[in-house]
Amino acid sequence: MSVSQNNPSNNMRSQLFEAKSALFIGAHPDDIEFYCGGLVYMLQANGCQVTFAVGTRGGKGYTGWMKRRLERLRTAHQHDSAHILGGAKVVLYDYSDKSLANDVQSYAQDLKTLIKNINPDVIFTWDPDFIYNPHSDHQAAAQAGRIASEKRCIYYYGTREPNVWIGFDINIMQIKIKALRAHRTETPWYYWMLIRGSFLTRHKNAGVKVGERYAEALRRLS
Ligand SMILES: [Zn+2]
């Protein structure tokens, strides 16, 4: 395991890996695993209590029983995945999938309440400037996270401008993949076959930054 930054500092290491409590904010079940699954596992292995805050249950545009069934499935899958990653506490909110942008202030208030309760040393959320996948829910989670975090230490995931890389080995990568694939409606085998190559390449390219096989990339706000 290693941590790197353009301007390495011991403070950076201690903030991340001496954190006693960490909050990861997402819009949908699976957001956090895609970009931070390895980090979540390592933090918890290091004794940190990790909490996931997820704005929607991922019902997408479906209506009626289809929507409710999908939400139930994805809620269960989020809990399965958190268990695989070491037992993160999961808090799911009931904002509508695809329209979280209408509820940024309300989600931010929920997050403020959660932050008051768990008092995280560090907070992670979507990068609002991530243009590779400009999903309005992701941007809404980024905004809500930024508002709620106030003056606390915050890192963005899903960023194109990383300044911190969290390196790990094949074992942790396998745990990350297992957690991601616990979201069975989102990563069925045929979809996984499509994205597997680019997923691994992204992590390998990030790993080069820290001399490890794989890594996750983050942007810490200065
Ligand atoms: Zn998402």
Q: How far is the CA of 8 from the centre of ligand 1 (A)?
A: 31
Q: How far is the CA of 7 from the centre of ligand 1 (A)?
A: 31
| pLDDT given at position 130 | 73
CB 141 within 8 A of CB 55: yes
Q: How far is the CA of 218 from the centre of ligand 1 (A)?
A: 17
Using DSSP's 3-state secondary structure scheme, residue 119 falls into coil
Q: How far is the CA of 189 from the centre of ligand 1 (A)?
A: 19
User: Would you write out the chain's pLDDT as a tens digit for each of its 222 residues?
Assistant: 555 554 443 356 567 898 999 999 999 999 999 999 999 999 999 999 999 999 999 888 555 668 888 999 999 999 999 999 999 999 999 998 888 999 999 999 999 999 999 999 999 999 988 766 678 999 999 999 999 999 898 999 999 899 999 999 999 999 999 999 999 998 899 999 999 999 999 999 999 999 999 999 999 987
User: Which letter does DSSP use for residue 124 in this model?
Assistant: E
Q: In the structure encoding, which two tokens stand for residue 28, read together?
A: 């949908």
**What is the maximum alpha-carbon separation in the chain?**
52
**pTM score, two decimals?**
0.92
The length of the chain is 222
Q: How far is the CA of 11 from the centre of ligand 1 (A)?
A: 31
| pLDDT given at position 75 | 96
User: Which letter does DSSP use for residue 51 in this model?
Assistant: E
| pLDDT given at position 190 | 92
**β-sheet with 89-95: strand ranges across:** 2-5, 164-168, 214-220, 154-157, 122-126, 21-26, 49-56, 89-95
For residue 14, which amino acid is it? Answer: S
Q: How far is the CA of 130 from the centre of ligand 1 (A)?
A: 12
Q: How far is the CA of 127 from the centre of ligand 1 (A)?
A: 12
Tell me the C-alpha to C-alpha distance, in Å, between residue 200 and each of 110, 122, 123, 203: 34, 27, 25, 5
Q: How far is the CA of 143 from the centre of ligand 1 (A)?
A: 14
Question: For the chain, which residues make up each domain, given as ranges?
Answer: 2-220
| pLDDT given at position 65 | 65
| pLDDT given at position 10 | 39
What architecture is domain 2-220?
3-Layer(aba) Sandwich (3.40)
Q: How far is the CA of 199 from the centre of ligand 1 (A)?
A: 15
